[in-house]
């Protein structure tokens, strides 16, 4: 396997990867909550810092989709029981960004 190519992971890794995505989203939400607090406090965070942070989380979301979504599509093609199928669908929604993520809607107008 070359660097940058997605691997075909076994379905047994599903809980681990789902947890990884959920934790990443939680960290992003926590960080952006801190940025929102900075909006209400003049001079705490400048516009450039906020813009860089939003850009970083936008890139993180894109990376998440590129890295994790193809694996979810491969797992979805397997013959799975009802419970495992729901777990795979949950993973796919997280990996595609179908659920609300902080980078999808910045809480302030940004000029990049």
- The Cα-based distances of 65 to 42, 45, 81, 92, 100 in angstroms read 35, 29, 25, 9, 14
- The per-residue pLDDT for range 98-107, each reduced to its tens digit, is 664 444 444 4
pLDDT in the model for residue 99: 62
Cα(65)–Cα(92) distance, integer angstroms: 9
Mean pLDDT, residues 84-112: 67
Confirm whether pTM is higher than 0.95: no
pLDDT at residue 40 is higher than 80: no
Cα(32)–Cα(26) distance, integer angstroms: 10
Q: Are 49 and 108 in contact (CB under 8 A)?
A: no
């Amino acid at each position: 396997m070359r660097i940058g190519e997605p691997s075909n992971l076994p379905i047994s890794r599903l809980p681990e990867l789902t947890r990884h995505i959920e934790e990443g989203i939680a960290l992003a939400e926590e960080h952006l909550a801190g940025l929102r607090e900075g909006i209400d406090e003049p001079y705490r965070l400048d516009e450039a810092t906020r813009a860089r942070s939003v850009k970083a989380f936008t890139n993180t979301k894109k990376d998440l989709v590129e890295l994790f979504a193809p694996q979810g599509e491969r797992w979805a093609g397997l013959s799975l029981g009802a419970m495992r199928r729901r777990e795979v669908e949950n993973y796919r929604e997280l990996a595609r960004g179908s659920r609300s993520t902080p980078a999808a809607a910045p809480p302030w107008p940004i000029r990049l």
